[in-house]
Amino acid sequence: MRLKRFQHSDSKFHEAFRTFLEQRRQGAQPSVDEVVAQILDAVRRRGGNAVAELTEKFDGVSISPDTLGSDAYDLQELAGECPSDVRSAIDHAAERITAYHQQNRPADGAARQSGDVSLSWRWTPVDTVGVYVPGGRASYPSTVLMNVIPAKEAGVCRVVMTSPPHKGKISPAVAYAAVRAGVDEFYPIGGAQAVGALAFGAGPLKPVVKIVGPGNAYVAAAKRIVFGLVGIDSIAGPSELTVVAGDENQADWTAADLLSQAEHDPMAQSILVTDSEAFADRVEEEIARLLPGLGEGSAAAESLETNGAIVLCERVDVPDIVDLIAPEHVELAISEGAEMATRIKHAGAIFVGPWACEALGDYLTGSNHVLPTSGAARFMSGLSTADFMKRISIQEISRTGFEGIAASAETLANCEGLPAHALSVSVRRGAL
C-alpha cells in the first residue's frame, strides 16, 4: 500500500499539507442537524414515550417508556457474565486510571493582593453527569472507565450511563466496567434520543448537568445543540495518530501503530513523520503484510488510503510539523524523543520512546484517552478530573481594601456608562 507522501523541503509543502488536513476535518462531521433537532424536540415534548419509540425504531430494542429499561439489560447480571481475564484487566486499568486522576484533582487556593483584598478559589463538583458509551462497531469498557472514574474522583454524586444495545445485546465487559467504576444509573438507550433524555429528562431519568462521551454524527450533533442547557466535554472527531520514527526503529512496530488508529474508523488518520525514505518504504511494506490479518471488516485499509500520509523531513523540523497537525496522539519513537517532547506545543497526548505505543494509553497508563481531535489540541486539553468540577472565586474586601480600589472602580463604571455600578461604589465611599 502506498500512502500519500509529502516532502517538507518542497516549496509548496505547507499549502499542500494544510489542504490535506483540512479536507478531512471539514468532512468529519456530516450535517445531520435537522434530523437531530426533530429527535430532540420529540424527546423534550413527549419524554419517555418518545425515547421508547425512537429506541425501537433506530435500535430495534423494546424498552418501557416508564422505566426506560428492560429486564434483559440488568447491569449487575450482565457484569457477572464478563470473563475473568477481562475482569482482571478492567480492574488493573481502573486502579491505574483512579490513581492518576486522584493526583490531578485541582486544589483550592488563595492569593492575597495589596490593599487588604483577599482572593481565593474553591473547586466544587458538578451535581450530575451523563456518560454516553457507544454500542456500535465494538464494545468499549475503556470508554466507561475513562469517563466515569474522573467524574467520581471529582466528587460527582450521580453518574448516569447510557449505551445502546448492539444487535440486542449489551457487552458484559461494558457492564462490568460500569459497575467497577461506580455508575449510579444505567439506561439501554443511544443516539440523539439518549442525549435528549440526559439533557431534558425523560421518564425516570432526571436531567443531568453535563454530558460526556463519544458517539456518531447524530450524537455529536445532539451534544452541540443541547450545549448551553447542559455542559459537554467536546465534539469528538475520528481518531488520529502521528508517529515520529526513523531507521533506528523496527518497521513492523511502526506499521502496527499506524494500523492501530486506522482500524477505528474510515475517517481516522495515521501519519508517519520520518527523515528516512527507505524506512518509509519498509513501513509501507509492513502495512501491506499486516493488513490481511485484521480481517475483512477492518476499516484500516480505507482509512490509510484516504487519510494516511507520510511526511519526509529533517528531525529538527519535527516539532513544527507536529504542531501543524496538532494531533490527538503523537508517538516520538526516536532516541531524542524526550527532548523533542518539550518543544511540541500542540498535541492531545505524547508517547515517548519505541516501547510507548499509543494503545497502552488507550487502556492502561492511567492518563485519560479522551483527547482533542481535528486540530483542537491547539486550544484544548484531554479530559481530566477538572472537567467535572467548576471553580468558585471568593473575594473578601475590608474597609481598607475598599478604600484602595473604589475610586478606580467608580471611574471605570462611569466610563462604561453604567451609573448604577458607579452608585454601588459611591454610596459606600460616602460612608468612609
Residue numbers annotated as active site:
328-329
Q: Are 143 and 134 in contact (CB under 8 A)?
A: yes
Q: What is the DSSP letter of 395?
A: E
Beta-strand (E) ranges in 219-374? 231-232, 240-244, 269-274, 309-312, 329-332, 349-352
Provide the angle, in degrees to the nearest 10, between the axes of the packed helices 300-307 and 251-262. Answer: 100
Whole-number Å distance between alpha carbons of 46 and 234? 27
Altogether, the residues listed in the chain come to a count of 432
Q: For 168, how many CA atoms within 13 A lie in the half-sphere containing its CB?
A: 3
Sign of CA dihedral 367, 370, 374, 376: negative
Q: Dihedral through CA 230, CA 238, CA 217, CA 69, nearest 10?
A: -70
Whole-number Å distance between alpha carbons of 7 and 269? 18
Nearest Cα residue to 216 out of 156, 176, 172, 166: 166
Angstrom distances, CA of residue 130 to CA of 103, 120, 199:
23, 30, 9
